Structure 1
């Protein structure tokens, strides 16, 4: 709950139609929404820290609106093909079991997403594939998933629909913690990615990340 200190004014949002407030973008958000962050290599999800934390802030806003004390964590998850998994605890993806190791490929990934009732899906913008999903599996996902975004490790996507900026350095620190090496991980790769992140992204006083709203069918090709 450390991120419950964040407020909407910590984020500057620009949509395709122009500037919007955090409250406007998340109008109608309910604290039962379930965000799923697909981070195949473990560390990829740092490219979506602004979006995830904006959703986390919307979650806590629903509690703050009641004026009552609360102790709650959002039902947000990360899904990774690596094992052991990277920890997204500082994204308030907690307890640890919400960082999910997926064995297999896209079909198994969609099973994991369905099993947790994900309503908002964040997927890496990468070379698409054409997996063969099961019909019942697809129908389950279509019933539940309401919105999909594409993101990249670098924080920039072609055809962006949403730009989120922040000068709150806490988000940079929380993202950097994802690179804390899981046991049995390829240390050279992880340290190279961390060095790139620190040099090209974290060094800026303003963390700027772009996202593209995509249809569910496109998201299926990016799992």
Structure 2
């Protein structure tokens, strides 16, 4: 749970509709809120990496006592139609990376089953979809904020920008691009802590190693190129578009 201490809200700047905003205005984060990010291509959630990190700070700040206990931020990655890379470096822990068929019904059911309140979804062409009875109403009743994003980190017709001048944010991205380094880092500290921590660390390292072949070298190069492109004059900037729940459902 390194992100409980490595990430701080002060690392970020936010713009909404071209004006400076704060985290609360963007997220309206409450103690029981949960974020899901949908992936449809290799490492595509790196295009929303700053949203994941910003939500992590909100999760801990809304209830600071969480930093003193073994808590991980309630962030879920829903892999639709494949296995698109390990995000353990963002403290997205086992069971919160969910692998689903490329099926809108499976996605909306996974979103509702996990009581998601904030949803980030790859931008695309809306479709008229028919979902299982009750699922859309359940989603409309609970989800409060939806964001369209792209793997490139730049969304068309964006009305939200998350920015930072802090290069430390890149470390989580780098370890997602090179998970072998993450596995080796975990293994260096496996013997630290009590027996429960050692067992957890050992299992986590094994899990990361078991997923090393998910992403090809070319896919890593592409993802790195996208991430490098969001840097401009020392500022990292990702953009998003706020959309309605119905608009988000049409993109599933």
Bin of the TM-score, shorter chain as denominator length: 0.7 to 0.9
Q: Which moved more, 1:43-52 or 1:136-145?
A: 136-145
Please say if residues 176 and 194 of structure 1, whose CA atoms lie closer than 8 Å, have aligned partners that are also in contact.
Answer: no
2:216 aligned partner: 187
Deviations 1:145-199 (A, max 9, x none): 1110111111111222211101222322212333347455362542342342354
Matches within 5 A, 1:19-34: 19-27=20-28, 29-34=29-34
Please say if residues 38 and 79 of structure 1, whose CA atoms lie closer than 8 Å, have aligned partners that are also in contact.
Answer: yes
- 2: CA distance, partners of 1:203 / 1:178: 22
Deviations 1:89-113 (A, max 9, x none): 222222x210110123111111111
Q: Which moved more, 1:9-18 or 1:45-54?
A: 9-18
Using structure 1 for the length normalisation, give the TM-score: 0.87
1:112 aligned partner: 110
1:172 aligned partner: 170
Q: 2:84 matched to 1:55?
A: no
Deviations 1:187-223 (A, max 9, x none): 2542342342354236863210111110011101212
- 1: CA distance, partners of 2:26 / 2:247: 22
- 2: CA distance, partners of 1:217 / 1:184: 36
Matches within 5 A, 1:142-181: 142-180=140-178
2:134 aligned partner: 136
> Which runs of 5 or more structure 1 residues have no equivalent in the other structure?
none
1:97 aligned partner: 95
Please say if residues 85 and 214 of structure 2, whose CA atoms lie closer than 8 Å, have aligned partners that are also in contact.
Answer: no
> Which runs of 5 or more structure 2 residues have no equivalent in the other structure?
180-210
Q: Which moved more, 1:152-161 or 1:115-124?
A: 152-161
- 1: CA distance, partners of 2:72 / 2:66: 17
Distance 1:179 1:88, change over 3 A: same
Please say if residues 42 and 80 of structure 1, whose CA atoms lie closer than 8 Å, have aligned partners that are also in contact.
Answer: no
Aligned residues: 220
1:87 aligned partner: 86
Deviations 1:107-162 (A, max 9, x none): 11111111111110000112333332123111221222111011111111122221
2:197 aligned partner: none
Question: Secondary structure of 2:20's partner?
Answer: strand
Distance 1:133 1:87, change over 3 A: same
Please say if residues 78 and 99 of structure 2, whose CA atoms lie closer than 8 Å, have aligned partners that are also in contact.
Answer: yes
Using structure 2 for the length normalisation, give the TM-score: 0.78
Larger radius of gyration: 2
Deviations 1:60-109 (A, max 9, x none): 11232x59833311221000124445222222222x21011012311111
Task: Give the structure with the higher percent helix.
Answer: 2
2:240 aligned partner: 211
